[in-house]
Chain A
Amino acid sequence: MRILGNKTVGQSTSTYRGERGLAASPLRSAIRRRAPWLRGDTALAILVLIPSIIAVAVFIYGFIIWTGYISTVKWNTVVEDHTFVGLQNWIQLFKMDRFHWDLRNLALYAVGFMSQCIVFGFLIAVLLDQKIKGEALFRTIVIFPFAVSGIVTGVAWRWLMQPTTGINLLFVKMGLENFYFEWNAHPKWGILAITIAAAWQFTGYVMALYLAGLRGISEEVREAARVDGAGTWALYRRIIIPLLMPVTFTAIVLTGMGSIRVFDLVTILAGPAFTTDTLAFHMYQSTFGQYRFSMGATVGFFMILLSLFLVVPYLRSMQFEAER
Chain B
Amino acid sequence: MSLQRFWSRGAIYLVLIAFCLFYLMPFYVMFITGLKPYEDLNVTRMWDLPKGIYLEGIIEAWKRVAPNFRNSAMITIPAALISSFIGSMNGYVFAKWRFPGSDTLFVLFLVGMFLPYQGILIPLVRTLQIVGLYGSPVGLIMVHCIFGIPITALLFRSYYASIPNELIDASKIDGCGFLGIYRYVLLPISMPAFAVVLLWQFTSIWNDYLIGLVVLSSPRLAPINVAVQNIAGSWSVEWNVQMSAALIAALPTIVVYLALGKLFMRGLLAGSLKG
- Contacts from A to B (Cβ < 8 Å): 1-4, 6, 8-10, 12-13, 35, 37-38, 40-42, 44-46, 48-49, 52-53, 55-56, 59-64, 66-67, 70, 120, 123-124, 127-128, 130, 132, 138-160, 162, 164-166, 169-170, 173, 200, 204-205, 208-209, 212, 250, 253-254, 257, 260-261, 263-264, 267-268, 279-280, 283-284, 287-288, 293, 296-297, 299-301, 303-304, 307, 310-311, 314-315, 318-319, 321-322
Contacts and interface: CB of A to CB of B under 8 A. Distances in A.
A162 B43 contact: yes
A63 B121 CA distance: 8
21 contacts: A48-B90, A49-B89, A56-B112, A56-B149, A59-B127, A60-B111, A60-B120, A124-B16, A139-B265, A142-B23, A144-B23, A149-B253, A150-B207, A170-B47, A208-B268, A209-B269, A261-B116, A263-B209, A267-B229, A311-B114, A318-B275
Contacts of B169: 9, 12
Contact of A300 (B19, B96, B119): B119
B30 interface: yes
A170 B104 CA distance: 54
B249 A151 contact: yes
A264 B257 CA distance: 21
A42 B102 CA distance: 11
Contacts of B146: 55-56, 59
Contacts of B93: 45-46, 48-49
A268 B33 contact: no
B69 interface: no
B167 to A, nearest CB: 10
B134 interface: no
Contacts of A208: 265, 268-269
Interface string B147-167: 101100100000000000100
A66 B126 CA distance: 11
Nearest to A1: B103
Main secondary structure of the interface of B (DSSP, over half): helix
B13 to A, nearest CB: 7
Interface in B96-145: 96-105, 107-112, 114-124, 127, 143
Across the A-B interface, give the 6 residue pairs with the lowest CB-CB distance, nearest first.
Answer: A149-B207, A45-B97, A304-B119, A63-B120, A165-B43, A147-B257
Interface string B236-274: 000100110111011001101110010011001100111
B242 A132 contact: no
B120 A261 contact: no
A260 B20 CA distance: 28
Interface centre among B111, B112, B118, by most chain A C-beta atoms within 10 angstroms, is B118
B121 A156 contact: no
Nearest to B203: A147
Interface of B: 9, 12-13, 15-16, 19-20, 22-27, 29-30, 33, 43-44, 46-47, 86, 89-90, 93, 96-105, 107-112, 114-124, 127, 143, 146-147, 149-150, 153, 165, 168-169, 172, 177-179, 203, 206-210, 214, 225, 228-229, 232-233, 239, 242-243, 245-247, 249-250, 253-254, 256-258, 261, 264-265, 268-269, 272-275
B122 A315 contact: no
A235 B96 CA distance: 41
A264 B225 CA distance: 10
B116 A41 contact: no
A149 B206 contact: yes
B105 A53 contact: yes
Contacts of B47: 169-170, 173
B264 A165 contact: no
B44 to A, nearest CB: 7
Contacts of A3: 98, 100-104
A63 B116 contact: no
Contacts of A149: 206-209, 225, 249-250, 253
Contact of B115 (A46, A267, A307): A307
A200 B119 contact: no
Nearest to B114: A311
Contacts of A209: 268-269, 272-273
Contact of B178 (A45, A120, A150): A45
Interface centre among A9, A173, A253, by most chain B C-beta atoms within 10 angstroms, is A9
